[in-house]
């Protein structure tokens, strides 16, 4: 299949481009590099020994989409482009609604004009808000607690409405749990701007010596050791989930919703111990107050994806931390480590 990958230069997008190319598909990337670096795509080309057509621009730019859809015959779209920082979304909600919701709508309109019906959309477990139980099933009530989460749910709802109105539309909504890790080559990985908000990249920067210690946000949750529990999923498993989803469901009209997680919960302190073990470096930490908006535990029931997509996460926590460390230790300043010093 020939697939347009929006946000293909980002963390999950790069790993998915590798998985798609290695499965024999072709990709065209559209990215405005607002949260990524062109070097990331050069690394994808290096891993796959293949050139990738890249358009630099905004997914909300209807004229650019017209140009891209005219130049290429796509079988489908995988739509990663969007902004993803919860705190920033509270500060700049209008930006989040424009960049995540309005831009997605512009993309759906372009697809309809060109008769491209299949789209895979990056949603998030954040749409469940504070779940009433774990593990979380796809039919649990939704209730995101911040503008980022609401932007994801709004796009899901647009897709559901569009599927009801247009019998040819094939929308695949993937709700990711917590993507971590990196490609086994150590060439691509997560490269956050500034101080990382998320646990794994923060721990990685502590282990590599860029930050002194981790603040553990709360040790009084009703969990196995009092710290927050999440469903961490290796980014390469997640990438393979996209390949399976588009291969299995291509052209099947309607909206299809899947959780992509491992189904097991890992605490903050378990993650710290696993990382210290893999890196053979100390990961100093201090207990800090709870972070506003955090839930005690969040993990998936991913059996629907297993049954209908034939997909299951294969990599365990040890693989996640080992691959994260391989990437982080080889690229302590992310993609800037190589390109800006040349």
Distance CA 167, CA 253 (A): 6
Q: Which is closer to ligand UD1, CB of 103 or CB of 268?
A: 268
Q: Which is closer to ligand NAD, CB of 135 or CB of 179?
A: 179
Distance CA 325, CA 280 (A): 10
- Do the beta carbons of residue 237 and residue 174 sit within 8 Å? no
80 sits near ligand NAD (criterion: CB under 6 A): yes
Listed in sequence order, the residues at least 6 apart from 157 whose beta carbon sits closer than 8 Å to its beta carbon are none
- Name the minimum Å distance from CB 325 to ligand NAD: 18
Q: Is 97 a catalytic residue?
A: no
Which one of ligand UD1, ligand NAD, none interacts with residue 7, CB within 5 to 8 A by kind?
ligand NAD
Among 7, 228, 261, 334, interactor with ligand UD1 by CB under 6 A: 228
Among 81, 155, 243, 271, interactor with ligand NAD by CB under 6 A: 81
- The candidate with the shortest Cα–Cα distance to 262, out of 224, 306, 228, 227, is 306
Among 118, 122, 142, 324, interactor with ligand NAD by CB under 6 A: 122
- Name the minimum Å distance from CB 221 to ligand UD1: 8
- The candidate with the shortest Cα–Cα distance to 221, out of 145, 297, 285, is 297
243 sits near ligand UD1 (criterion: CB under 6 A): no
Distance CA 123, CA 238 (A): 12
Element counts in the chain: helices (H) and strands (E) = 13, 14
CA 233, 293, 216, 188 dihedral sign is: positive
- Catalytic one among 55, 96, 128, 148? 148
Q: For residues 79-138, which are near ligand UD1 according to CB under 6 A?
A: 86, 124, 126
Among 99, 205, 227, 259, interactor with ligand NAD by CB under 6 A: 99
Distance CA 190, CA 334 (A): 8
Active site residues: 148
Binding site for ligand NAD (CB under 6 A): 6-7, 9-13, 30-36, 58-60, 80-84, 99, 103, 122, 124, 176, 179
């Amino acid at each position: 299949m020939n697939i347009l990958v929006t946000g293909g230069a980002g963390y999950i997008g790069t790993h998915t481009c590798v998985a798609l190319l290695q499965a024999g598909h072709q990709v065209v990337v559209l990215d405005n590099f607002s949260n990524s670096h062109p070097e990331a795509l050069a690394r994808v080309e290096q891993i796959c020994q293949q050139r990738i057509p890249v358009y630099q621009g905004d997914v909300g730019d209807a004229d650019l989409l017209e140009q891209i859809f005219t130049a290429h015959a796509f079988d489908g779209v995988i739509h990663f482009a969007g902004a993803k920082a919860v705190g920033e979304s509270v500060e700049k909600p209008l930006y989040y609604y424009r960049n995540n919701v309005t831009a997605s709508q512009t993309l759906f309109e372009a697809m309809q004009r060109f008769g491209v019906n299949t789209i895979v959309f990056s949603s998030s477990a954040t749409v469940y808000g504070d779940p009433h139980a774990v593990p979380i099933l796809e039919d649990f009530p939704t209730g995101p607690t911040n503008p980022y989460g609401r932007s994801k749910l709004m796009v899901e709802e647009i897709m559901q409405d569009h599927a009801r109105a247009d019998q040819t539309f094939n929308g695949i909504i993937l709700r990711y749990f917590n993507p971590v890790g990196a490609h086994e080559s150590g060439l691509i990985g997560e490269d956050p701007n500034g101080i990382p908000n998320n646990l794994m990249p923060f721990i990685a920067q502590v282990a590599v010596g860029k930050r002194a210690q981790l603040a553990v946000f709360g040790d009084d949750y009703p969990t196995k050791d009092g710290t927050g529990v999440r469903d961490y999923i290796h980014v390469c498993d997640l990438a393979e989930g996209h390949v399976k989803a588009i291969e299995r469901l291509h052209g099947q009209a309607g909206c299809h919703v899947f959780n992509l997680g491992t189904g097991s919960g890992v605490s903050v302190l378990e993650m710290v111990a696993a990382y210290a073990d893999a890196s053979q470096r100390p990961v100093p930490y201090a207990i800090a107050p709870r972070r506003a908006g955090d839930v005690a535990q969040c993990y998936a029931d991913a059996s629907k994806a297993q049954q209908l997509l034939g997909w299951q996460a294969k990599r365990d926590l040890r693989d996640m931390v080992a691959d994260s460390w391989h990437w982080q230790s080889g690229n302590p300043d992310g993609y800037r480590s190589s390109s800006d010093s040349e």
